[in-house]
Amino acid sequence: MVAGTIQVEMLESDIALLTLDLPDKSANVLSVQVLDELAAALDELEEQSGLAGLIVCSGKPGTFIAGADLREFAASLDAPPEQITALCRRGQELFSRLSKGPWVSVAAIDGVCLGGGAELACWCDRRVMSDAARTQIGFPEVKLGLFPAWGGTARAPRMIGLANAIELITTGESLGTRAALAMGLADDVAPPDQLMAAAVRLVRDEQQTRRYLRDRQSWQEPVAMDETELGFLGATASAAIRQQTKGQYPAPLIALELLLEAAGCDVWQACQLEAGQMPKLFGSPINRALLNVFFLTDRIKKDRGVDGPPLATREIRSVGVIGAGIMGRGIAAANIKRGVPVVVTDASADALAAGASEILREVSYRKETGRADVDRAVELAPLLNTCRTDQELAGCDLVVEAVVENADVKRKVLQRIEPLLRGEAVLASNTSTITISSLAAGLQRPDQFCGIHFFNPVRQMQLVEVIRGRQTSDQTVATAVAYAKRVGKLPIVVHDGPGFLVNRLLFPYMNESLELVCAGVPLEQIEKAAKGFGMPMGPLTLYDVVGLDTAFYAGRTMWEAFPDRIVASPLLPAMVKAGRLGQKSGAGFFRYDPGQKQGRADPDFQVLADRYTRERREYSLEQITMRLFLPMLLEATRILQEQIVRDARDIDLGLIYGLGFPAFRGGLLFWADTEGAERILEWLRPFEGLGTRLRPTELLREMAASGGKFYQQTRRAS
């Protein structure tokens, strides 16, 4: 039994304070036991005479309630529909007591208020939110393949309007305090240290005006909207959802249908409809996959990067970045956004000046206005120091090399910088393909050198690969992991090897798309298969975005490492020689009109491609899909066999956050576990004649024979 999660005390003689504080947890979550405790507390409060108000708050600074206990959700995925409906009804009936009590109920929200926590807050008569940047409220359930089912779809439309509720619930995006206030989801705003006083004022104000009683009555009634307006809203919202989800995520559309259907009902009928619809989604394959992604992310946030007893990590108080190109600028900006001072150096004065301007523009950009904030730029400018002398890096706790992807150039830079650094400083390379152990050759302290591979664009990509060279120490790895988290990234630890993890898995997929082109498969069919599987763009478009010259040189590294399964296609160098470099040159696999990122068919490409077409075969869309993704899966089994990662789940996290692998499939290995190794062997049989890259590995055969799962693979010792 959870003991002491909820404490009730008298804030004033007639105002009770109900505080949630889950013991031994960093955030409050709503488990069945916590709900039981809340029910018992409300029983006692309802029997107490003379109460004017009830204020609900959190005992954890920075977090109100993070949502429901998702581990309990996962344990109930196979529950029968009637049990799921009953669980929803139980939550609705419990939370609705906050809107029926003989007192004004106020949610005092400081920090994260999401999912079930937002539903609890919405059942209160009023909400006051702190003005701290961390404070937000929202319903992210669609990101788990669900919708709010403890009254969220019933209560929100009646409080903030149907259109606002549709946007909030079907996108799963959260609102900051000011946006919540403007929408009517919050009633007042206060600094964190004045939140309780503001909540008390709300209670006293409602005692006088009795507005909360009028709202209680109003929020029980159907949503006021005529049929024409309702139809227009439904059509426009449906079109927006279909465009966003591409039909691969059913929860937003089901939530929309529910919201529209329940608009004509009273709130209690709407709650019944909500509970009745939940079994359609709960426990579905997509719900299971998205829950897996949540657990992958949650696990990596807690992972220290090394196994065994906790290590004392070095504190990173200042960072040096060598190179003011695209990656160097992105890395510098990521640090400054988190308040970490940065020194940026570059051999080119022009590159340095342009880099500094771009860094300040990025760190001062405000999404709400769509432009840079001059005041913010002035505020953050002191954190950026640009210089052309190596000596300025001497005082940094961490220096990240981000120069051109050339091993000789990188070695020279690293060997030049290392002697200048303090004995405890960490030196790192942002290389994407070159092995860390080879770059460490000639360093005096290879144990304090590692890879910290940010992905481009740094501002958007959450993943960071922390690469352990042969001599990298545990403390260096743990320090790099802690640092990556500090700058808001999700770090996975990868043992050294060509392409590390993400690029090693990307190249079989990309390489196979070239082979399909040379087999006469139309470009649009290859792109359609990839996007139909769920990738954000097709592999040929990705080639054009990355740049054919960049892809050629990186591919050469991979071919040298794995010549048995990376085909040295003549098509790529021919395209580079012809000046078809992708978007940057206006032509690659597709042609790009000036200022356009969307490519179109180019007859000139087909003339070039025909010279390298070795065969012409008809492939179904399913066969194309298998040829694209099975080589990637087979490479993942080799990575497991070689113990490149510490846990099989790191592969899935890396692909989702590093390559945009479809989250609704749960990850590459989760998808494979769902399909089963025996079925994958069947898919491979027609392609085995194509060579090693499409032949089953020993691990896959073993798993098919034993019925094993990839997620059961053991961790590698650090």
- At 370 the three-state DSSP class reads coil
Place of tokens 């098919």: 704
Q: Nearest-CA neighbor of 135 among 158, 123, 117?
A: 117
Average pLDDT on 113-135 reads 97
Quote the Cα angle for 421-425-427, to 5°: 85
Q: Note the pLDDT tens digit of each residue in 297-334.
A: 999 999 999 998 888 899 999 999 999 999 999 999 99
Q: Quick one: pLDDT band at residue 126, thresholds 50, 70, 90?
A: very high
477, 466 contact by CB (below 8 A): yes
- Count the Cβ atoms, other than its own, within 10 Å of residue 416: 11
Task: For the chain, give the percent of residues with pLDDT over 70.
Answer: 99
**What is the 3 state secondary structure string of 38-107?**
HHHHHHHHHHCCCCCEEEEEECECCEEECEECHHHHHHCCCCCHHHHHHHHHHHHHHHHHHHCCCCEEEE
Residues β-bridged to residue 41: none
CA separation for the pair 358, 367 (Å, rounded)? 16
CA separation for the pair 220, 271 (Å, rounded)? 11
Q: Note the pLDDT tens digit of each residue in 214-273.
A: 999 999 999 988 899 999 999 999 999 999 999 899 999 999 999 999 999 999 999 999
Distances from the Cα of 663 to the Cαs of 494, 636, 653, 655, 689, in angstroms?
21, 17, 10, 9, 31
**What's the pLDDT at 557?**
82
| Residue 417 CA to its chain's centroid (Å) | 34
**H-helix or E-strand spanning residue 679:** helix 677-684
Please, which residues have CB within 8 angstroms of residue 296's CB and are 6 or more apart in sequence?
649, 652, 653, 656, 667
348, 309 contact by CB (below 8 A): no
Average pLDDT on 569-581 reads 95
Scanning 487-620, the segments in alpha helix (DSSP H) are: 502-517, 523-533, 539-546, 548-561, 571-577, 603-610
Q: Residues with catalytic annotation? A: 453
Please, which residues have CB within 8 angstroms of residue 686's CB and are 6 or more apart in sequence?
623
**What's the pLDDT at 399?**
98
Please, which residues have CB within 8 angstroms of residue 561's CB and are 6 or more apart in sequence?
497, 498, 499
- At 399 the three-state DSSP class reads strand
pLDDT at position 717 over 60: no
**What's the pLDDT at 615?**
78
pLDDT at position 104 over 90: yes
CA separation for the pair 483, 486 (Å, rounded)? 5
**What's the pLDDT at 715?**
52
- What type of residue sits at position 387? C
Residues β-bridged to residue 463: 490
- At 328 the three-state DSSP class reads helix
Distances from the Cα of 368 to the Cαs of 338, 340, 447, 603, 656, in angstroms?
19, 24, 44, 42, 27
pLDDT at position 467 over 80: yes
Q: Quick one: pLDDT band at residue 3, thresholds 50, 70, 90?
A: low
Please, which residues have CB within 8 angstroms of residue 658's CB and are 6 or more apart in sequence?
455, 461, 463, 465, 501, 502
CA separation for the pair 10, 691 (Å, rounded)? 74
CA separation for the pair 580, 588 (Å, rounded)? 5
Residues β-bridged to residue 56: 18, 107
Q: Note the pLDDT tens digit of each residue in 164-188.
A: 999 999 999 999 999 999 999 999 9
Range in 26-40, 415-429, 605-619, 671-685 with the lowest mean pLDDT: 605-619
Quote the Cα angle for 53-57-59, to 5°: 140
635, 651 contact by CB (below 8 A): no
- Bridging pattern class, strands 365-366 and 371-372: antiparallel
CA separation for the pair 685, 681 (Å, rounded)? 6
Residues β-bridged to residue 400: 321, 428
Place of tokens 């993070």: 66
520, 507 contact by CB (below 8 A): no
Count of alpha carbons within 13 Å of 623, Cβ hemisphere only? Answer: 10
* Domains by residue range for the chain, with CATH: 6-283 (3.90.226.10), 319-490 (3.40.50.720), 503-712 (1.10.1040.50)
Please, which residues have CB within 8 angstroms of residue 309's CB and are 6 or more apart in sequence?
none
**H-helix or E-strand spanning residue 468:** strand 463-468
CA separation for the pair 617, 521 (Å, rounded)? 7
Q: Note the pLDDT tens digit of each residue in 337-368.
A: 999 999 999 999 999 999 999 999 999 988 76
pLDDT at position 81 over 70: yes
Q: Note the pLDDT tens digit of each residue in 482-532.
A: 999 999 999 999 999 999 999 999 999 999 999 999 999 999 999 999 999
CA separation for the pair 161, 252 (Å, rounded)? 18
Evaluated on CA atoms 603, 609, 614, 620, the torsion sign reads negative
Q: Quick one: pLDDT band at residue 556, thresholds 50, 70, 90?
A: confident
Task: For the chain, give the percent of residues with pLDDT over 90.
Answer: 88
- Residue 600 sits at φ, ψ, to 5 deg, of -135, 160
Evaluated on CA atoms 93, 99, 105, 106, the torsion sign reads positive
Q: Quick one: pLDDT band at residue 427, thresholds 50, 70, 90?
A: very high
**What's the pLDDT at 607?**
93
Average pLDDT on 655-669 reads 97
pLDDT at position 376 over 70: yes
Structure-token pair, residue 363: 């760190």
**What's the pLDDT at 716?**
47
Average pLDDT on 630-644 reads 96
**H-helix or E-strand spanning residue 160:** helix 152-160
